[in-house]
Amino acid sequence: MTPSSTSDLTIRKAVPGDIEAIVQITKDNDHFWTPAVDGVEALARIIARDGNVILVSVDDDGKVTGFLIGTWDGARAFIHKISVSPVIHHKGTGRMLVSAAIEEFKKTGAPTVAVSAADGTRFDEEDSTGFWEKVGFEYIPARLMINFNIWEKNGGNLHEDK
């Protein structure tokens, strides 16, 4: 992708050197669930894999301030995660990350892009649905369901230490 930027913010594809900052932002937002999905090795696999869109926002000093992770399966595009450093919330970074991701998905031919949005009803998560509406998404009734057993059947522990 061609990096997009405003005067003090650039959006570009993530590289392995960004991983530490990405993990830190996830932790700063209290969104680090488990190393199996949010840890350093998981992020390295995400960055290396074709079809994934993983973007970072970078400030003037080269500091990573936010990121977005999405996938395209050949038809549908899906945003799995977005996180912006809490000290710069509500300053337009999230919007820029989403529009850059949509541009990337458009290039693949994806006709839609969806997200599973935290609505504030579980744990202490913030309600992000207002953000998603502001950046062009609309609500459709659906429930995210998850099978926790796959990893644990293979001897992994989703609840191991961060």
Residues forming the site for ligand COA (CB under 6 A): 29, 31, 82-84, 89-95, 117-118, 126, 128, 130-131, 134
Residue among 122, 113, 112 at smallest CA distance from 144:
122
CB 72 within 8 A of CB 105: yes
Nearer to ligand COA, 58 or 84 (CB): 84
Nearer to ligand COA, 120 or 156 (CB): 120
Q: How far is the CB of 93 from ligand COA (least distance, A)?
A: 4
Q: How far is the CB of 82 from ligand COA (least distance, A)?
A: 4
CA distance 66 to 106: 21
Nearer to ligand COA, 24 or 74 (CB): 24
Residue among 69, 83, 68, 92 at smallest CA distance from 8:
92
Q: How far is the CB of 131 from ligand COA (least distance, A)?
A: 4
Q: How far is the CB of 19 from ligand COA (least distance, A)?
A: 17
H-assigned helices in 14-140:
19-28, 35-38, 40-48, 93-108, 129-134
